[in-house]
Chains A and B, each alone.
Chain A
Amino acid sequence: MKRLTWTDALYWLALPLVLLFALFPFVYAIASSFKRGNALFSSDFWPQAWSAANYVAVFAEQPFGQNLLNSVLVAGGVVALSLTVSLLAAYALGRVTFRGRGLLMMTILGVSMFPQVAILSGLFELITWLGLYDSLWALVLSDLIFTLPFTVWVLVTFMRELPKELEEAALMDGAGVLTVIFRIFLPLLWPAVAATSLLAFIAAWNEFLFALTFTLSGEQRTVPVAIALISGASSYELPWGNIMAASVIVTVPLIVLVLIFQRHIVSGLTAGAVKG
């Protein structure tokens, strides 16, 4: 028990530091979001007079509710698509030995090696050609460029670690490949799947450059673009309060999502093994 208290002590020592490190800017954002006008230019941490006007303005000045919904649809669509497709690929790449596997893995990764701005023009032409310009589908499709390589690679890594007896037994029983992937492996992979979906969801949720370039009307914009388009009365003025309020609003759904997903990150494989 003595050793346990040693790690415990370390834990409690590090905890406030980590919380401060992670949350300080966010708390600052919350504090700023309740400030008005010139209070922004003071280095006071908390506002002297609290005001919810920024939050009202965020929803009054643009279709922010619609933008939130768009972001949910795009990020949700991206995650659903990339997980389905990459679970199939991960099984093949992680559990079957075949010629060209290494090259395939590198090809998939290679997509993540180009700067976004370099593929922007080509993608723009592709999307206008498909007739998807100014539609959410354009974003779902283009966001796959960065989520798909990531989900494939992470799932391959985790899929490899799973015991092969399970798979062999199932195949003996005449189960199809899809059954093995979705019925047997998926439940075991929950921690990895939950973590990768969460990371991919947030990445798609925050994507800015594609969203700015491939949508035009206010009703099709996603949240980061909507935030970037919040501006002051004149061209140089920065409406800091509104931007902070909007940032707080968009972060809240993600925190809720984390709270939902975090149960899955810690269940799964360990749930069966922890019993002792």
Chain B
Amino acid sequence: MSSETLAPPLCLPPRTVSSLQRSRQRMAWLLVAPSLLVLLAIAGLPLLRTFWMSLSDAQLADLSSRQFVGLANYIGDSGVLNDPEWWGAVRNTLWFALMSVGMETVLGLGIALMLNHPSRLKTLLRAAVLVPWAIPTVVSAKMWSWMLHDQFGVINAMLLALGLIGEPLAWTADPDLAFVTIVLVDVWKTTPFMALLILAALQMVPSDCYEAARVDGVPTWSVFLNLTLPLITPAVLVAMIFRTLDALRVFDLIYVMTSNSRTTKSMSVYVREQMIDFQLVGYGSAAATLLFLLIALITLCYMALARRRMEGH
């Protein structure tokens, strides 16, 4: 469980600890300090507060009269872990993260390769690809709900005109379709994030490697598989981590597009519903903490897996 997971297989061999090295380590702490202090100040306190609240029966209407209830919010009879709706939300969220991040990675890689391709249109393409990421989520979610409206939405109108569907589809209402629709909108929205980070990685691959390969007549796909892919993997993995963390906390997209429908409820929607709509700050904090633990667990597994995969190469 450490940052080494993403390091190139060969790290600097540990030398004898000299005084030079010790001063270098002191300096390292000094350099990390500003980031750490900022994060502790703005995130540390609120996070601790959430942990603390999760052990009480606090309600939003009157936070001061809360009582310590131990782990009742977690494992009590009406605790989060005994709520089938919570488990439904967990299942939805995991599926969502798996499907959307998977599709985004594949598409993002493809688009990054296109952006890296020499062409006269590349400036246009670069700007165009970033547009979905640039539109505020609150707006794009509304925009998509409107475009996907069954009666006057432009998507149904076009699909009908092309003869691809026989009658208007209820994209966001039909329980079978709503989930897929949300995944697709998320893929549309966040693929640029992946593409741009992968492009940056592609750009940093020294191009003399390509030259050498081309001179040797190595086929393009082989160059990609054996040269490019290993070199950009660390960046792809980091991009995937952040996308996964975001996807596991998905909120506004679902909230705007399908409201509180049980078929698409995510963990964050559940947390917000409990904390804000139902005013159960204690219970909601417990759900938030579980969400945090789950994400941390997934991240650790992911990193362990990523490390093994990379060492295998």
Q: Which chain B residues in 1-50 approach chain A with CB under 8 Å?
A: 1-4, 6-8, 11-12, 14, 24-25, 27-32, 34-36, 38-39, 41-43, 45-50
Q: Is the CB of A153 within 8 A of B288?
A: no
How many angstroms between the C-alpha atoms of A126 and B117 in the bound complex? 48
Q: Which chain B residues in 106-138 approach chain A with CB under 8 Å?
A: 110-111, 114, 117, 119, 121, 123, 125-138
Residues on A with beta carbons closer than 8 Å to the beta carbon of B296: 110, 113
Q: Is the CB of A157 within 8 A of B6?
A: yes
Q: Is the CB of B136 within 8 A of A224?
A: yes
The verdict on A161 contacting B8 (CB below 8 Å), with A109-B241, A192-B204, A247-B139 known, is yes
Q: What is the minimal beta-carbon distance from A146 to any residue of chain B, in angstroms?
A: 9
Ranked 8 nearest A-B pairs via Cβ: A102-B2, A122-B46, A118-B288, A92-B28, A43-B157, A119-B46, A105-B3, A92-B31
Is the C-beta of B180 less than 8 angstroms from some C-beta in chain A?
Answer: no
Q: Is the CB of B25 within 8 A of A98?
A: yes
User: Quick one: which of B7, B41, B50, B144 contacts A25, CB cutoff 8 A?
Assistant: B144
How many angstroms between the C-alpha atoms of A123 and B49 in the bound complex? 10
Q: Which residue of B lies closest to A188 (CB)?
A: B204
How many angstroms between the C-alpha atoms of A250 and B2 in the bound complex? 40
Q: Is the CB of B146 within 8 A of A240?
A: yes
Is the C-beta of B55 less than 8 angstroms from some C-beta in chain A?
Answer: no
User: Quick one: which of B110, B111, B138, B143 contacts A28, CB cutoff 8 A?
Assistant: B143
The verdict on A89 contacting B152 (CB below 8 Å), with A15-B125, A113-B296 known, is no
User: Quick one: which of B146, B193, B276, B299 contacts A109, CB cutoff 8 A?
Assistant: B299
Is the C-beta of B83 less than 8 angstroms from some C-beta in chain A?
Answer: no
Q: What is the minimal beta-carbon distance from B298 to any residue of chain A, in angstroms?
A: 9
Q: Is the CB of A259 within 8 A of B123?
A: yes
Q: Is the CB of A28 within 8 A of B288?
A: no
Q: What is the minimal beta-carbon distance from B117 to any residue of chain A, in angstroms?
A: 5
Q: Is the CB of A227 within 8 A of B196?
A: no
User: Which one of B126, B129, B197, B204 has the greatest number of beta carbons of chain A within 10 Å?
Assistant: B204
**Chain A, 11-34, contact with B by CB distance < 8 Å: what is the 0/1 string?**
100110011011101101100000
Q: Which residue of B lies closest to A6 (CB)?
A: B220
Q: Is the CB of B152 within 8 A of A43?
A: yes
How many angstroms between the C-alpha atoms of A153 and B245 in the bound complex? 13
Q: Is the CB of B128 within 8 A of A23?
A: yes
Is the C-beta of B170 less than 8 angstroms from some C-beta in chain A?
Answer: no
User: Quick one: which of B32, B45, B242, B267 contacts A92, CB cutoff 8 A?
Assistant: B32
**Chain B, 236-268, contact with A by CB distance < 8 Å: what is the 0/1 string?**
001101100100010110000000000000011
Residues on B with beta carbons closer than 8 Å to the beta carbon of A3: 219-220
Is the C-beta of B140 less than 8 angstroms from some C-beta in chain A?
Answer: yes
Residues on B with beta carbons closer than 8 Å to the beta carbon of A198: 130, 196
Q: How many residues of A contact B (CB 8 A)?
A: 107
Is the C-beta of B67 less than 8 angstroms from some C-beta in chain A?
Answer: no
* Interface 9-residue window, one of B69-77, B94-102, B171-179, B205-213: B205-213
The verdict on A148 contacting B39 (CB below 8 Å), with A18-B125, A97-B12 known, is yes
Is the C-beta of A77 less than 8 angstroms from some C-beta in chain B?
Answer: no
Interface, chain B (partner A; CB < 8 A): 1-4, 6-8, 11-12, 14, 24-25, 27-32, 34-36, 38-39, 41-43, 45-50, 110-111, 114, 117, 119, 121, 123, 125-140, 142-144, 146-147, 152-154, 156-157, 188, 192-193, 196-197, 199-201, 203-208, 211, 219-220, 234-235, 238-239, 241-242, 245, 249, 251-252, 267-268, 271-272, 275-276, 281, 284-285, 288-289, 291-292, 295-296, 299
Q: Is the CB of B275 within 8 A of A88?
A: no
User: Quick one: which of A4, A142, A150, A157 contacts B42, CB cutoff 8 A?
Assistant: A142
Secondary structure of the A side of the interface? Answer: helix
Residues on B with beta carbons closer than 8 Å to the beta carbon of A21: 188
How many angstroms between the C-alpha atoms of A89 and B146 in the bound complex? 44
How many angstroms between the C-alpha atoms of A28 and B146 in the bound complex? 11
Residues on B with beta carbons closer than 8 Å to the beta carbon of A92: 27-32
How many angstroms between the C-alpha atoms of A261 and B268 in the bound complex? 34
Q: Is the CB of B45 within 8 A of A122?
A: yes
Q: What is the minimal beta-carbon distance from A113 to any residue of chain B, in angstroms?
A: 4
Q: Is the CB of A85 within 8 A of B35?
A: yes
Q: Is the CB of B130 within 8 A of A154?
A: no
How many angstroms between the C-alpha atoms of A255 and B47 in the bound complex? 36
Q: What is the minimal beta-carbon distance from B194 to any residue of chain A, in angstroms?
A: 10
Q: List 15 A-B contacts (CB under 8 A).
A: A43-B156, A96-B25, A98-B28, A112-B245, A113-B299, A117-B272, A117-B288, A121-B49, A154-B239, A192-B201, A192-B204, A198-B196, A202-B130, A224-B138, A243-B139
How many angstroms between the C-alpha atoms of A14 and B110 in the bound complex? 9
Residues on A with beta carbons closer than 8 Å to the beta carbon of B114: 11, 14-15, 18
Q: Is the CB of A88 within 8 A of B34?
A: yes
Is the C-beta of A70 less than 8 angstroms from some C-beta in chain B?
Answer: no
User: Quick one: which of A96, A113, A152, A240 contacts B245, CB cutoff 8 A?
Assistant: A113
Q: Which chain A residues in 38-94 approach chain B with CB under 8 Å?
A: 41-43, 45, 85-86, 88-89, 91-93
Q: What is the minimal beta-carbon distance from B306 to any residue of chain A, in angstroms?
A: 12
The verdict on A251 contacting B35 (CB below 8 Å), with A92-B28, A122-B49, A123-B46 known, is no
Q: What is the minimal beta-carbon distance from B210 to any residue of chain A, in angstroms?
A: 10
Q: Is the CB of B7 within 8 A of A254?
A: no
Is the C-beta of A186 less than 8 angstroms from some C-beta in chain B?
Answer: no
